[in-house]
Amino acid sequence: MAYKLKNGEFKISCRHDGCPFDFKVKIKQNIMGMTEEDVEEEAKKLALDVGRIKHDAIYGTKHKLTNPAIKKVSGVYEAIGQKKRSIQYQSEAVKYKDFKKGDNILNKGDIAKTICEVIKGGAQVDKNKTHLYKPGESFGASALLINQARRADVIASEDHTTIAFYNLKELSKKDPKKAKELYTEAMEDIFDVIDKLEGMVDSLEDQLEKSTLICENRKERIKNLEEDLLNVSQKLQEMGN
Ligand SMILES: [Zn+2]
């Protein structure tokens, strides 16, 4: 099997003391290799060449690109000549589906039966656009709880997003290792939610305590003011006499 890089982008920075150079290079060339690592190595070489030219054009009179750092910002490795996974590997344990940007992957209210993993592209919870699930990350942990409805819509964040839907019960028969991995990750997700809820309860308790205190203080002040007022009116009466 061979691989190619799609939409590859790398960030090049310079480690020369105080150098602000930080440059993104899009790889437009069609790079292919026998493994993903081969493709990445080739793409990094190319990105570095472009980065070096750019760097030295700006800072070259002071210093050359020094001990450069290269980081992959985006891009996916696609198998060439492989049958579409969505046709090849469908089973009771796992089903693959492709989505366009904005398509619903999960619908709020549906009964949760599967755990999802991003294979390609990305997914986000409709209401919380800050968190993006990237390839290799899973979501939909509520499937671990019986008869639990999906709590939110999850949508594809880009075109050509591929999601794997795992049926944990079936998967544990076929691929116990993968099932365990997903189960562990999902449990972490659930603990995360519990953690957040506990945090919210704590802060609500805090607030309640504070407002009770403020309320007590106000009562005290009103009492004092009433006493003052009483004193003043008594004095006025005395003066009037
Ligand atoms: Zn530099």
Task: Render pLDDT for 139-186 as a digit per residue (tens, 0 to 9).
Answer: 887 667 666 778 788 999 999 999 999 888 888 888 888 888 888 877
Do 70 and 105 reside in the same domain of the chain? no
Do 10 and 56 reside in the same domain of the chain? yes
User: Rounded to the nearest whole angstrom, what is the distance from the C-alpha of residue 44 to the centroid of ligand 1?
Assistant: 18
Task: Tell me what pLDDT residue 36 has.
Answer: 85
What CATH number did the domain enclosing 119 receive? 2.60.120.10
In a domain? residue 230? no
Domain around 141: 85-189
Do 182 and 89 reside in the same domain of the chain? yes
In a domain? residue 69? yes
Do 93 and 155 reside in the same domain of the chain? yes
Report whether pLDDT(33) > 70.
yes
In a domain? residue 218? no
Task: Tell me what pLDDT residue 88 has.
Answer: 45
Average pLDDT value over all residues in the chain = 84
Is the separation of the CB atoms in 222 and 214 below 8 Å? no
In a domain? residue 130? yes
User: Rounded to the nearest whole angstrom, what is the distance from the C-alpha of residue 61 to the centroid of ligand 1?
Assistant: 10
Do 61 and 20 reside in the same domain of the chain? yes
Do 138 and 111 reside in the same domain of the chain? yes
Do 59 and 143 reside in the same domain of the chain? no
User: Rounded to the nearest whole angstrom, what is the distance from the C-alpha of residue 35 to the centroid of ligand 1?
Assistant: 32
Last residue of a domain, one of 80, 104, 133: 80
What is the total count of domains within the chain? Answer: 2
Do 101 and 149 reside in the same domain of the chain? yes
Claim: this prediction has a pTM higher than 0.75: no
- HSE of 111, CA atoms in CB hemisphere, 13 A: 4
Structure-model confidence comparison of residues 47 and 76, the more confident one:
47
User: Rounded to the nearest whole angstrom, what is the distance from the C-alpha of residue 54 to the centroid of ligand 1?
Assistant: 10
User: Rounded to the nearest whole angstrom, what is the distance from the C-alpha of residue 50 to the centroid of ligand 1?
Assistant: 14
Last residue of a domain, one of 63, 80, 97: 80
User: Rounded to the nearest whole angstrom, what is the distance from the C-alpha of residue 25 to the centroid of ligand 1?
Assistant: 16
Report which secondary-structure segment, H or E, holds 131. strand 128-133
- What are residue 94's DSSP bridge partners? 166
201: left (phi over 0), alpha (psi -120 to 50) or beta: alpha
User: Rounded to the nearest whole angstrom, what is the distance from the C-alpha of residue 58 to the centroid of ligand 1?
Assistant: 9
User: Rounded to the nearest whole angstrom, what is the distance from the C-alpha of residue 2 to the centroid of ligand 1?
Assistant: 36
Which residues are CB-contacts of 151 (< 8 A; sequence separation ≥ 6)?
Answer: 108, 142
SS3 198: helix
In a domain? residue 204? no
Q: What letter does residue 110 receive in the DSSP assignment?
A: S
Last residue of a domain, one of 189, 210, 233: 189
